[in-house]
Structures are given as structure tokens and as C-alpha cells.
Structure 1
Amino acid sequence: MDTGFLDRLPTGTPGHDERPDGFHDGCDCGTQAPADDPWRKGFTRRRLFQGSTAMVAALGLQTVSTRYAYAAATDTDTIVVINARGGMDGLNVVVPVTEQRYYALRRNIAVPEGAALPLASGFGLHPAMPKLHKRFQAGQFAPVVAVGTPDRTLSHFEAMDTLERGTATGNNTSGWMNRVLTARSQTGVFSAVQFGNQLPLSLTGPAPALAMAGIQSFGLAGYDDVRAKAATAFAALYKGVDHPMATQASRTLQAVSTVDTMRATAYTPANGAVYPDGGLGNTLEDLARIIKAKVGLSLATIDIGGWDMHTNEGRVDGGDLRNHLVDLDDALDAFAADLGDGFGDVTVVVLSEFGRTVRENGTVGTDHGHGQVVWVLGGAVNGGRVYGTWPGLTDAAMFTNGSLAATTDYRDVLGDVLAARGGVSSFAKVFPDHTPKPLGIVKPRA
């Protein structure tokens, strides 16, 4: 197990990639991002877990949170949250093609009106996503514009903490996804899965959650005969012992056994789905396998980095943004196709910690901003329209640093999905300082 971690900094404390003013070091408008900028390389923050996972880690098992039990699948969707780490430029993803100010402030990186794939309400989709555009036309994809969090620092770490806690303050140490599990009294080891080596803050808390890099790598370390002997010894160690670790040991081995069963049979994606090689494609293929195995998965979260595009963002014929969007388009479309009819019980939300400035900078990129676009994709989405209230791009309408203002709280989007598809009837504990407003993005479960 990888035991490296990056501590969360106290609020207002400079360090790592932040300056005392809360902005990313080297990320001012017009400033070249440093070559070692971790957000450009897809860096994902890692956390050191509390609880009694050290013994499990010592045996080479990928980390599982401190309480384990299996539970039957709940009558909810599998809700998948994809975090585009670094701050996705939503203005070049869902393009305000009727806003002349957008073109005036982005002479080198704006998506031409004629190139954008038509959506609705004066917006177009970046042409690197033709497959998701077809799903928009089919009513399975809906973007929400001008979405924001309560964070105003535009610091990666502070913004992500706010996003993952689900609150505007640091008083609540658990994450919003874990509080969803607690509210639903879910105790299954596969109730929530993070695809990565360690849990994000959103899944931190008393309810069980599982972190796994992937199906092929999950399990006890070592050769087959060593793993078998270790598992036997592990089970015998706590047999008949009345101790919390006895339950942990038993359920951990059950988790390993479940994944071993999946791994024993070669997997062929259904319906002609072809996942892109590596990264997100591999992760979504594994996620589809787990969903089809019906092990009770209700929440999944995936981090994809590299969205902090202060340089080389590009336009439609090249650049980092186009390359990232091509991968997302291919991977999400393959995931939907692979699930087939089962996609009707899956809802995907793609969001970021913040958006970007409206004006391009001097290095053919954009800088940290406020309002962003959030995508919702699924078989039960009321797609084919653009959600959210558009504030406009006049100086008076924009956020203080010249970025898009936010008119919809991101918890309204999450709340809409959770209420309709996630079995959550009260948000008093999930989002303790915000009552989500219904948006009608997804159809309620029957």
C-alpha cells in the first residue's frame, strides 16, 4: 500500500502550492505555471486514514475504512461523482455562443460559434464531445451552467475541502457522501467505492467506504500461494474473538473474495462498448463490472486531474482541454453503452472545485475563477436542455476577479440527484447549512 500522503493545511495557512493570499503559487493571470505544478499532471490529493487500517495495510491489502458489513443492494441508483481536479474551464465546454463578450475576452482560445455542437438556450458543446452531444439529443445528458460552491478563496485546497465537506465551514469533519451513507444506514463494504489508493474527504466519516485502485490490483499482496496462506492466517487470527478487528478482518476477506470472483472471469464490455486505454477508461470499465455484479454499490467517486490549464488550453484543433474532453467523451459513452438498460439506474455527476476566468491570460490559458459547469449524465436524466440561470458576462454581472458568477449552488445539483435517485428525503445532516432547491434534472425512481 502506498502510505504517502499530503496533509490538509489549516484554513489560511500558506504551503505546498498556495500563497498567503490563497491563490495557487505561480498561477496569477498571465503567469507561466511551474513545470512541477501537480495539478497539471493529474495529481490527486491523498489522505492518511484514521482507525485500525494499519494491520490491513501491513498485510498488503488496499485500504478499507474501519467498519465492514455486507448489505443488500438498496433501492437507489448508483450515483457516480467524477471530480475534475484543478478547475475545469466550463466556458469552453458549454460555450455561451451568443455572448460577444466571451469572444472579445478569449481571442485565442474561444470555441468558434460555428464549431460548437448546438445545445439549447444560446449554448453549444465543445466539438471534442460528439458522443455526449448525441446523448444530449437523446435526453441522457444535461449540463448545469453558473454553478458554484460557498468557497471564495479560489485556492485548490480550500475549494476542494468545501466541495467535499458539503458545508461552507470546517466545523463538520465528515464528508457529504459519507453522511449520505449514514442517513441511509448503509453498512455494506461495497456501498461506496473510491477508485484510488486512499479515501477522499467526501467519503471520510463513520460509515464504511472502500478505496481500490482497480479490480486487477485489489487484494492481498504477494504470490498466489502466499496470499492464500495470509488470508487463512488472517481469518484464524480473530476467529471467535469478540473484538472490533474481528469484524474488520472477516469483512475485509469477504471483500477480497468478492473481487477475486469478479477477476476470475474475463470481462468483455457489452453492446460493443470500447473503452479508451488507461486512466478513466480502465476505471469506468471496472466500475461497470462492479455495478453489474450487484454487490450493493450506491456511491462511487473518481478523480481525474490535469484541469488547471493556465497554459496551452487550446481551442478546437488542439491543446490540453480538447485532449481531456476527447478522453471523457469516449470513456463516458463507453460506460453508458456497456451498462445498456442498466444505465437507467446510474447517474453520473461531473464537477470541479471551481471554474476559470472569462478573460484568457498571456499564456493561452485561463486562471482560477468561480462559476463552473456541472454535467449530469444517466438513463433517467431529463436531458436535452441546459439548466441553471445564466448571469451574463458584463463587468457588473461577473464574480470579483472577472470570472463567471454562480447562480446555482452545487448542492442544489447534488441534492436534486440524491432526492430523485438516491433515496435521500432530508438534507439536514447531509448539507447542514444548505437546503437544496429542486431543479428537476432527473426523473424520480418509480
Structure 2
Amino acid sequence: MKSKTMNRRDFLKLQASLALSSSSLLSLLGAFSPLQAASFSDYKALVCIFLEGGNDAFNMVVPTTTTGYDDYKLIRGDISVPKDELLPLKNTDYGLYNMPAMQEMFNADKLAIIANVGTLVRPITKIEFEAGIANPPQLFSHIDQQKQWMSANSNRLEKSGWAAKAANLLENLNDFTNISVDGSNFMQFGGDKPAFEISGDIHPFNNYGYSDPDSKISFDEILHQIIQREVESDHILIKAYADNQIQNIAYRESVSQAMENALEFNFTSTLDDEPGIPLAKQLEMIAKLISVHAQLPGSPKRQIFFARLHGFDHHDLQTIDHPLKLNYLNNVLQEFQDAITSMQLSDQVTTFTASDFGRSLVPNGNGTDHGWGGHALVMGGAVKGGQIYGEFPELTVVSGEYTSEYITNSGRVIPTTSAEQYLATLASWFGSYSDSELEIIFPNLNNFNEKNLGFI
């Protein structure tokens, strides 16, 4: 292999590629105490696809009846999607836009839609919202709403995400229970074991191009020597950081060895100017990791994966960009589900979407403002598909006033289902948690009558 000189920038980039979640330092310092729950012999995985920026779900799932569509078009105006392009969903009055594979999955009972879900402390009415009663803090803020979705708590700031807390409650908690293929995220932050984070491909050190094939000392040995000096430091944080880096090296080597036996998939979906790591590449990596889950250290029986599709903050050019993103998401989800099915793991792997928030129903030019409630997709063999769960608000206007008690004066939609209800339903399938354990993961769940939505 051709060797090359490593400069300071290269070294820092490599260090970043090795990094696990920063919660690993806290874990090494003993910040958390383990909790125990049931042990499992079967395998299950949850795959979260976070639609970052705020997906306009009311242009993803649209009424198809004459009256329903006319009301929708009256509110949405120039950003409404054409009725003749809607793909009907069986036994409903709604259709999907630009997502033919998802329509096919829904009609084959392999995909469910969760209607009007969002961050809530408890159920609230429009009157309460307008009066500022029981509203989640910092509504319509990207970073705050993302964090509330990822912590599953809209009442107070959390120190860890819901996936980290869910993993803590597993008896067979594993170093590879939580895996992100798009870098750091709060959903998997703060657990007793840090999330394993990947940005791009996994390489053993001798594949980075920095080792000299004629040298007796490999690059990873040199890096070990550098870190060893930090291990011998008297400073507790320096020692913890060094231990973390050594652990990361071992993790990378273990995963890269397992990946030598991974099944090959060929995800071909593309999206022009897609920011960040392409979702197709992320989900292809997840499929490969799932194919070798039994070969990872500890053979994890439960895994939560995090992927992210960027670019949903459509303040402009929504009618051009949003349909492309929906179709791309449709294609990649189909490719991923085909890969899972080919491994005969459809019943064991459940994929679901989440987003910062929905968008305002009323356009602001050629785009939309930040909203609140939106719709989510859940697919997999264990899903009770072919149904819409939850409640759609009525999209009717009389004399300039919205008649639905869930549409605010500014045209935003108050969620009728909480993110905690949605995520708790997924978690119940994933971990068979007791009611008391679900309360640890989802602190506001008892504020809602329906704790399990029954879609899985």
C-alpha cells in the first residue's frame, strides 16, 4: 500500500473518525449505574431515520376525497400537491405523495402511518395553546424540538436520550447496542455504554494509507504509544480520554473484522446535492452491520440504529425540493427493506421516521414556516400495517377561521399523539419493558390515556 505523510490536520481528522459519543468519558468516570431488565435470546433492531429540518408531512399524506382535498388546497394554496398525483391508501381517505413503494407497502400491510404526532407534555387544546398553558418549551426551534424528540421528554431538559435510557435497562447491554451511522445525536447520548458512531466507512488502521508496508511498526502501534503517555498521566480526564481512545481502536478493529463477512448490498438511490452522508450509504451500512450482528463482540441481541436525512427546512423552493426528497426517501426505504427481507429478518427489524416538527399549513411564499404536529412512517414485518393510527385534524376554514380545535390561529397543527406514545410503542416491542421501566424512559407517558398505540 502506498504510504503518505500525516500532517496535524490528518491526525485530527483520524482522531475524530475514531471518536465515540462524548458520553463515553462520563461512562469511564462512573457517572452512571447499570439497571437490569429481561435478557433476550432472539434478535430485534430499531432503525430510526431522522428527517432533519422539519418534514412537511401534510404534503406527504394528503386527503383524497373531494371535500377533504378542496379544504386542504384552500389552506395550502400554491404549495399544495396535485390531487391526480396522490397514491391512494387502502381503506382510508388519504393518499401518499411521490412515494409509490411506501404506498405498496401500506397496501400490503407492511407499513403504518402515525398521524399528527409531536412533542407534548400532556394533551392540550387550542385555547390552552394560545394561552401558553402546558406548551413544550421553545416550540418551533430546531435544536430544542430535535432534543425533545430525541430525549422523549418535552417537560424538562434531559441528560441522556431515550435510546440510551432504553439500552441501560437491558441486562445484555452491549457495546454495539446503540449505533449511529451519521455521527453524534442526542437520542443515543448519555448511556452506560456510549453509542458506537460511524461517519462513512469503517476502516482498519492499515487501510488509512498511513502505514509503511516495509515498516516493522504499524500506524496503530505508533498511535498506541502516543496514547500510552496520556494513560500514564495523573490527570483523571486525560486518563479517561486515553482509555476511551484505546477502547475506540479496539472497537474499530473488532467491527472491521466482522465487516469482512458482511453481506454485500448495492443501494443505488441518489439525490442531487444531498447534504451530509447520503442516506442510501447510511442504510446500506446498517444493513451490513445487521448482517454480521452475531459476529460483533458480545453478539448483541438488541440494537438501535440512527440514520439521518438532512435538508427538510423548506422555507423556500418547497414545491421543487420536497417532492424529490420524498421520492428519494421512498426509494431508499424500499432498498433497505429489500435488504432486510433478503436476510429473513423482516419480523425482527422495524424502521421508523421522526423529524424536528411538521410545517405550518399556511405557506410563506414558496415555502413553509416551522410547525408542530406531523406524520411518521413505520415499516417492517412486525408492524400492523395498512392502517393510519392517531387522528388527522380537520383542514377546514369557515369565514377565515380554522374549525379544528387542533389548528392554531397561525396555521400550525397541535399534535393529537405525543412523541412519547409513539416511541414507547416501539420500545415496548423492542425491549418488553415493564410499565415502571417505560416511565423511566418516557417520563410523561402517564399523562396520556393510550400508552401503546398498537401498531406493532
Where do residues 84-95 of structure 1 align in structure 2 (5 Å cutoff)? 84-95=51-62
* SS of the residue 1:383 aligns to: coil
Gap regions ≥5 residues in structure 1: 1-54
Deviation track 1:49-76 (CA, whole Å, cap 9, x = no partner) reads: xxxxxx99885652124258xxx98645
CA change 1:60–1:415 in 2 (3 A) is closer
Equivalent of 1:229, from 221, 233, 242?
221
Check the 8 A contact 1:354/1:371 in 2, yes or no: yes
Deviation track 1:82-135 (CA, whole Å, cap 9, x = no partner) reads: 111111001110112232221112232222332211114211001x21111111
Q: TM-score, normalised by structure 1?
A: 0.76
Check the 8 A contact 2:179/2:197 in 1, yes or no: yes
Check the 8 A contact 2:262/2:289 in 1, yes or no: no
Structure 2 counterpart of 1:195: 181
Q: How many residues are treated as equivalent by the alignment? A: 374
In 2, distance between residues paired with 1:167 and 1:427?
Answer: 12
What one-letter code is carried by the residue in structure 1 that aligns with 2:369? Answer: D
In 2, distance between residues paired with 1:344 and 1:56?
Answer: 41
Give 1:382 deviation, angstroms.
0.6
Corresponding position: 1:275 with 2:272: no
Q: TM-score, normalised by structure 2?
A: 0.74
Gap regions ≥5 residues in structure 2: 1-10, 29-38, 121-135, 213-217, 233-238, 271-276, 397-401
* SS of the residue 2:345 aligns to: helix
Equivalent of 1:350, from 353, 368, 379?
353
What one-letter code is carried by the residue in structure 1 that aligns with 2:44? Answer: D
Structure 2 counterpart of 1:62: 18
In 1, distance between residues paired with 2:162 and 2:310?
Answer: 21
Give 1:284 deviation, angstroms.
0.5
CA RMSD of aligned residues (A): 3.0
Check the 8 A contact 1:116/1:125 in 2, yes or no: yes
Check the 8 A contact 1:180/1:430 in 2, yes or no: yes
CA change 1:184–1:288 in 2 (3 A) is same
* SS of the residue 2:360 aligns to: coil
In 1, distance between residues paired with 2:73 and 2:322?
Answer: 17
Check the 8 A contact 2:18/2:248 in 1, yes or no: no
What one-letter code is carried by the residue in structure 1 that aligns with 2:348? Answer: D
Structure 2 counterpart of 1:409: 418
In 2, distance between residues paired with 1:92 and 1:59?
Answer: 42
Q: Which protein is bigger by CA-based radius of gyration?
A: 2
What one-letter code is carried by the residue in structure 2 that aligns with 1:155? Answer: S
* SS of the residue 2:144 aligns to: helix
Deviation track 1:177-201 (CA, whole Å, cap 9, x = no partner) reads: 111111224542211011223x212
Where do residues 132-171 of structure 1 align in structure 2 (5 Å cutoff)? 132-150=102-120, 151=136, 153-171=139-157
More strand by share: 2
Check the 8 A contact 1:311/1:365 in 2, yes or no: yes
* SS of the residue 2:83 aligns to: coil
More helix by share: 2
What one-letter code is carried by the residue in structure 1 that aligns with 2:56? Answer: D
Where do residues 12-161 of structure 1 align in structure 2 (5 Å cutoff)? 59=15, 61-65=17-21, 66=24, 67=27, 75-98=42-65, 99=68, 100-119=70-89, 120-126=91-97, 128-150=98-120, 151=136, 153-161=139-147
In 2, distance between residues paired with 1:247 and 1:167?
Answer: 32
In 2, distance between residues paired with 1:286 and 1:416?
Answer: 26
* SS of the residue 1:143 aligns to: strand
Q: Give aligned-pair identity as a percent.
A: 26
CA change 1:244–1:86 in 2 (3 A) is closer
